[in-house]
Structure formats: C-alpha cells, structure tokens
Structure 1
Amino acid sequence: MTDDQVWTITGAFDPGAPDWHYLPVEIPEGVREIEVVYRYDRPDVPPGVKGNALDIGVFGPHEQFRGWSGGARDRFVVNATEATPGYLPGPIEPGEWQIILAPYTVSPQGMTFEVDVTVRFGLDGPAFQPNPAPARAPQADRGKSWYRGDGHLHTIYSDGRRKPEELVADARAAGLDFIVSTEHNTPSAHLQWGDHATEDLLILNGEEVTTRTGHWPAWNLPAGTWIDWRYRADDPRQLQKFVDEVHKSGGLVVAAHPFGPCIGCTWEYGYESADLVEIWNGPWTLDDEAAVIAWDGLLRAGRWIPAVGNSDSHTHGDRVGLPHNVVLADGLTGSQLMEGFAKGRNWIAESSSVQLEFTATAGGTTVGIGETMKTDPGTPIAIEIKASGAPDTHVRILDHHGPQWGGYVPAEGATIMWTTQSRYSKWVRVEIRREEPTPTTRDTMVALTNPIFFR
C-alpha cells in the first residue's frame, strides 16, 4: 500500500484574469481517490467594488468532465464508488487531470490562491450504480391536459440548499406535475433522481449552462449528458454548437433571467438560438418587469419566442413553483412537454391555486394560447378570459397597440369578454396583476400568458 501523496499548487490572478485557468496534475497508476481543497484571499473592498470569488471544477484525462461546484464548496472528493455532489463517481484513470479555476470576480488588490491535491492509493470500491429518474410518472399523466411544472431548480448538487428528496416534497406540495433538474454546469444530479422519484411527479434532466455572459437551462437531456459552458457571447459559434447538441437530444434551450442583476447573469447572446425565454424568475421584481417589456417589444417587432417562468429556487426560503408553467401537452413525458413548450401552449402562474382560461372565437372556430386564428379582417373575434384563484386582482389585456383594461377578479373569480378584429390586433395576450407593491415594483404579477395570434 502506497502512502497518500499531497501536492500544493499556488498562484495569483490580477483583475481582468481569463475566465478559465487550468492546473495540470499528473495522476499515477493505482490511485483510487482524489481529494481537492482550495482557498483564496478575500481582502476588504470599498462599497460598489466586487470582492474575490473563485469557482472550481475538474476534468479527467482527454477533457473528460468529472465535476463542478463553482463557488458552492471549498473541497471535493472523487472515487469509483461516490463523489461530492456536483462531481461524477468513477474509476480514477491515470494521466493528466486538469483542475479548472474560474475567477468570477477579482478585487482591485488581485487574488492569491492555494490548491491542495491529495491522491490515495488502493483498490477501487464497488462501482457506482446510476439510478436516473423514470421516464414517466403514471399517477400524474392525464393524457392531453394542462400540466404544471417548474423548470429551473437547484439542490445540493450545485449551489442549492435542499436535498433532492426535499425538492421533490416541496414540488409535490406546490401542486406540480413535473420539475426540471437544472444544476449549474453539471449533470451529477441526473444519476440519483431515481432514489427520490414518485409516481405523481415527473423529473426531467437538465443543466443550467452557466456562462460568463448569460445562463441557459437546457431542458430534457438524456441522463448524464453534460453541456459545456466555457465560452462567451463574443463567439456565438460556440453557443450554437451546444444548442445543436441539446436539440439533437430532444431538448430545448431557455434564455434564463435575461436582466438578472448579478455578474454574468444577464443574457448577452441575443435570442436567435433560444427556444424559450424566461421572463419571470422567482418572486416578481424589477428585472422581471424589464424582461416582460423586452419580450413584448420583440412581439411588437414581429418576433415571438415563447415565454416561460420558473422559481430558480436555491434555498428552503425560495418557494418552489413561484412561478411555474402551465403547459398544454398530449401527455406527461419529456418529449410531449417539450412539444407543448415549443408551440407556446403555455401560461405562467404564481401558484397552483391560480386558474386561467384564455380563448378566442370567430366564425365558429375557437383557438387557445399559442395558436393562430385565420379570419377575414372585419370578422369580430370574441376574447374570453376566465380567472379564478386570484382574488383582488385585475386582468390586463394586451395587443400590439398596448394594454387594455380587462376587469377586476373578485374572490369568486370572473369571466371577462373583449372583442377585436384581425385588422386591429395582430395578437392578444393576458396578464393578471395584484395591486401589491414589491420592494422594486408598483404591483405584483399573478399570471401571464403567451399570445393568441390573428392572421
């Protein structure tokens, strides 16, 4: 038995350091486990100046991804049987491994770091046995129906605080039919969802691809699929390469929190490669209002990207399902849900108590959210909105000319009618708002729909 070997690597970053810095480590034959511990200095900085923050991950030989924890933890362990959440269990292949350091922000004083790498020798333990989530949740599958789901969620497998079983419990309590697991930059959570799955909640695999110029949840990935994140918006070919990977696997690309007020969170890629845009992220705030205004502007310019809303829940205090999607699908499978989202057959709700129906009828034909109605220019189109579970709110009807007053929703609910024609309205969408200020907005969004279009 060979004693453990320990190496310490030191270095420094100046302000403006590259996004990715690699520390090569030669792993000899016979290693059964790698442990990495890192630390860096955090000097005081004046108000308005960003301090030091350093992310970490690791690649095995031949650029084989083995894990990422960002700045969520200061150490990780990988062996054949188990790994720290965010990392992938598996045999330790000899050769050159790369510890990846990613300076998120660097203070004006610079940043010094130390990385301790410990290798332990011996025979591998039992091989890790992946147990991904089942492809179906039969108790929740109602055939063609409206399904509720939250598509942006985190656990201890990236920078969240919930254990997977806690997230499942909270999603069920929120009245959801499905969730998408979207850990930052790693698929490690995919491999264990089967340990926590229930027959009344579908769990889809995803990844929040967290680049330095925008985040994009990839939805409906095959279990274990990893999508690279080492590029910026100044090289759109890189983004398209990985978008194509997601599409080939049957998934969709979501432009997340496009005006998120944190470093790297704002969407800088443009929307050419996005299938969906997350215009409502967590409790209603000013950046959500900005996202809705920008999305509405795209609609007015004749460009529609279906809207979604998700909680982006990280901590136990972040309510799962605030907000969530209500999507029309032919059944509760990943491919059927993705088809519904891609068609824009979706509206967004603050909770499962909110019920909304939105249709347009003309000449004996009725269409719903995300659909297109073809009529003669002078034919009246009857817009009908049924809202309940949203007491003391008001309905706002919007077309490409701007917002119209819809009406008040009392405790018992309301049915609101409005009439237009295709020569007046290119599309119509609906918002429900509560006259309740937040710390950054004058009111609070309760529900929001994708448009119905008229031709």
Structure 2
Amino acid sequence: MTTRIERTLTPDDRAETPYLTIPFEIGPGTSTLEVRLSYDRGSGVIDLGCAGADGFRGWSGGNRERYVITPEAATPGYLPGELEPGTWSVVLGLHRIPAAGLDVTVEIDVPASGPPEAEPPAPPLPERPPRRRLPADSGRTWLACDFHAHTVHSDGALGRAGLAALAVQAGLDVLAVTDHNTVSHHDGLGQIGDAYGITLVPGQEVTTDRGHANAFGAIPWIDFRQPPDTWVSQVAETGGLLSINHPLAADCAWHHPLAQRPPLAEIWHWSWLDTRWTGPLSWWNAWGWDTIPVGGSDFHAPEQGRPIGVPVTWVAVDDDVADRLTARAGEGRTGEGVARDGDRTAAPGSASDIGSDAVLAALRAGRTAVAAGRDGPALLRVDGELVAVDAKGTLLTDTLGRRRPVHDDLARFPATSGPHWLETPDAAVLAITP
C-alpha cells in the first residue's frame, strides 16, 4: 500500500519549525518500509530522515530521495531491525525553502517496493607507507589521525571499507568516521578496522544549519534537533567527547551559544585554505586556549580534491597500545571478511576498538598536535620541551607573538605554557600544539 502526501512548504513553515514530521502508522506484522521524497532540487534543499515508534531510525540529510528499512538490512544511514507497531514519522529538515515555496511529495510504501541500497563492496588491502616515528614522552607513541570523514551512510562517496583502505594508503593510523546525524555506520567498524590495519573511531557529526559538532565514541545517537547544551551533556554522560567543527566555515560556521563548552574544537579544517589567514587561531584565542585542538579533512569523495589526512592530528598513546595496533596492521592481508551492508556484527574487544578507547583517552588528556600533513613539519610537547621536527627555517611562535628561529631539522626549546605554532617567514602556519 502506498500513502502519498503532497504539500507546498513555505518560509513560514520553516519559521515555525526547521523539522517537519509526517506521521504514519505501522501495523503488527509489517516487514518492510520504503519512503520516497521528491521536489525540485534546483529550487531548495530538504533533508530526509525517519523516526520509529520507539525512536530514531535514520537520517540521510539532503543526500537521498529514498530509504528502505527491513529487519535484516537498511539503506545506509538507517538502522535495520524489526518494524515495531505504532506511529512512525518521516522527518523533513527544511534546510532551504525559497520565498515562492517548494512543492514536496512524500510517498510511503508498506511493504517496500524494492530492497535497500547496498554499501559498496570492500576493496583489497592497499600497501601502507612506512610509519613516521616522532619523538615522544617515555612510554608513548604518536599516531597519525584524521578526526573527520564521511561514508555513504551520509553524504560520502565510499563505503566504510573503502574509506578505511584510503586512510591506510595515506599512512594514517586512526580515522574517525563521522557521518551526519546517524550511527548506522558504527556497527562493524572494529571488524573493518582490524581487516585493514587501522583504528576506526566511531563518531557522528551532529549537524544543524547553525553549526556542526563531532561526537566521538561508541555512544548513542545524539538528537540534533535538541539544544546544543544537551549535546554537550549527553555526550559527556555517555562517555564520549564532543568537538566543535569548522567554527569559521563558509556556510556552516558555529553560531550556537553554549552554557558549557565541549573539550575539543576542530581548529584546523580543510577550509583553512591559506594558513596565513589568522581566523582559526583568532577563534581559538577568543573561544579559549584551554580548548584541545584537533584537525579534520572532512573527506567526502576523492574527486573533490580534498585528501584524507590533510590536516593530520598527532595523538600520543601508550606504547603497549601502539605496539598492538602496528602489529595488527602488519598482519592485514586482504579486505575479505569485512562487514558489508546488512552485516551488523562487530568484533568485541578488537584491536580497533581498543585503539579507539586509547585515542579518546589521549584526546581527553590533551595529548594532541596538528600539522598540515603527515610528512611535513611537526611541533610536539615531549618531556617538558617543545620539539620541532623537520622544520628547519621556520619560526616557533607563541600566543604573545614571540618568535624563535628553528635552525635544525630536530630542534628542542624550553616549553612555556599555552599554544605554540610553527610558521614560515611569511606567517603561514605549518603546525600547532596546545
């Protein structure tokens, strides 16, 4: 049976609420559900999601026009499982509504007229470049991390295994998978990480038109429709970490007021196109130097020309964890056996899961440094000193604007408090450390 709803949405509708719910009933014994959305995409942007009788079932933003949910599988971005009887809702995010209004049609099929879209198959395991060994505190190792990337579970082009393979090829040790407003990508990340020899940190990019934030950790779904102060409290209460994303980005900069600020912020985002621009460091200064900096490529698709791992975040973890992760990576042979769409089985206690926990602990402790790329100049805090690596000819700069020349490929300086960064003679930032 198909239910068809037609409506013209106006700016008045968006002013009333940015999230429109269209309720419908699921009866006992219903096995599958399909929802289709159609409108003129050249005139506006409508986000698409689903709430079940028992709560959240998925979100695809403006990236999809259709989703299917079954007990065994679902369109990426949506949670498979039994369709509990009761009142469900199609959730529409009224992101861009033109002044003249936007004609929208929603069709609901019970049962579904076809299967859900499948996640792309797992690619072969690529060759990993040699790891970079950086000076570290006794008993610790720096891991190369990227804390912002997307898959087909939101608006990315690759499946989770494809993203993992690309990150390995780029020489990353850790990648956070942060699809928008969903947790459908979490199950199976540990298994995929182990198969490809990389730690995959579960994340979710809590996304609104007034700002985005990454919630890191294997935590429950965060309701992006609630006030952001609830994001902060819920993430903290469930053991995760929240980070303000790209606070100065073009059309998704951070606007939300917060009574309590989260511990992390994405100080370095791919959109810092010219690192002579002072905006990101100025925002960090205004927000508070005690905020722990991370970086993120915000990778979506290879054809966009924004490489994964650029910028890179260095995170210092205990040697025993790092040894286990690097040994695991050396044992990877193929991409076979990786979780595919519909396979919801994770590997409890996997090396990737353990690595994820260790990385989150290091983030909490503030053991980070951010750089333009994995193989470029790095600035680290090591044994009470500031250590500049492969940075000869640069300047070590502090928050008061004091500069010290770096004359060697490995240079050590007495540590002073507060953030520092490496810059070129013409003031382009190459690396930062809190």
TM-score class, shorter-chain normalisation, is: 0.7 to 0.9
For residues 91 and 155 of structure 1, do their structure 2 counterparts lie closer, same or farther at Cα, with a shift above 3 Å needed? Answer: same
The residue correspondences of 1:330-409 to structure 2 (distance < 5 A) are 330=318, 331=321, 333-354=355-376, 356-359=378-381, 366-368=383-385, 384-388=386-390, 394-399=394-399, 401-407=400-406
Correspondence for 1:205: 202
CA distance in 1, matches of 2:422, 2:142: 18
Corresponding residue for residue 274 of structure 1: 262
More helix by share: 2
1:251 to 2:240 alignment = yes
1:130 aligned partner: none
AA in 1 matched with 2:83 = I
- Kindly provide the CA deviation profile for residues 313-363 of structure 1, in whole angstroms up to 9, marking residues without a partner as x: 011133110012101122353333223212222111222213535458xxx
CA distance in 2 between counterparts of 1:20 and 1:11 reads: 15
CA deviation string 1:52-86 (max 9, x = no partner): 10001001114x11110000111011111110000
8 Å contact kept, 1:13–1:110: yes
**Correspondence 1:327 to 2:315:** yes
Would you say the 8 A contact 1:221–1:246 is kept in 2? Answer: no
Deviations 1:27-72 (A, max 9, x none): 22332111111111356xxxxxxx410001001114x111100001
Decide whether the 8 Å contact of 1:257 with 1:267 is kept in 2: no
Residue in 2 aligned with 1:310? Answer: 296
Code of the aligned partner of 1:216: A
State the alpha-carbon separation in 2 of the partners of residues 182 and 109 from structure 1: 35
Alignment correspondent of 1:29: 28
How far apart are 1:95 and its partner, in Å?
A: 1.6
**Larger RCO, structures 1/2 (Cα 8 Å, 6+ apart):** 2
- 1:230 matched to which residue of 2? 225
Is 1:52 the counterpart of 2:44? The answer is: yes
1:87 maps to 2:78: yes
1:413-432 matched pairs, under 5 angstroms: 414-416=409-411, 427=418, 429-432=420-423
Counterparts in 2 of 1:406 and 1:270: CA distance versus 1, 3 Å: farther
Task: Report how far residue 434 of structure 1 moved.
Answer: 8.2
Distance 1:313 1:347, change over 3 A: same
**SS of equivalent to 1:190:** coil
CA shift for structure 1 position 394:
2.2
| Deviation for aligned residue 1:406 | 2.7
SS state at 2:48 partner:
strand
Q: CA offset at residue 297 of structure 1? A: 3.8
Percent sequence identity over matched residues?
Answer: 29
Higher strand share: 1
Are residues 289 and 33 of structure 1, via their aligned partners in 2, closer, same or farther at CA, if it must alter by over 3 Å?
farther
Aligned to 1:216: 213
Q: Secondary structure at the match of 1:203?
A: strand
d(CA) in 2 for partners of 1:7 and 1:86? 23
Which residue is equivalent to 2:11?
15
SS in 2 for 1:196: helix
| TM-score normalised by structure 1 residue count | 0.74
Deviations 1:7-35 (CA, angstroms, capped at 9, x unpaired) = 11111221251211000111223321111
Structure 2 unmatched ranges of 5 or more: 116-130, 134-138, 323-354
SS at match of 1:182: strand
1:180/1:220 contact within 8 Å kept: no
Of 140, 144, 152, the match for 1:148: 144
User: SS of the counterpart of 1:197?
Assistant: helix
After superposition, the Cα gap between the structure-2 partners of 1:428 and 1:21, relative to the gap in structure 1 and judged at 3 Å, is closer
**Paired residues of 2:379 and 2:433 also in contact (CA < 8 A):** no
Question: In structure 1, what is the Cα distance between the partners aligned to 2:248 and 2:150?
Answer: 20
Find the residue that maps to 1:22 and give its secondary structure: strand
Q: Between Structure 1 and Structure 2, how many residues are aligned?
A: 373
- How much does 1:115 deviate? 0.5
| Larger Rg over CA atoms | 1
Gaps of 5+ in 1: 44-50, 125-139, 232-237, 361-365, 369-383, 436-442, 451-455
Amino acid at match of 1:196: I
User: Is 272-281 or 66-75 further displaced after alignment?
Assistant: 272-281
Q: Which amino acid aligns with 1:261?
A: A
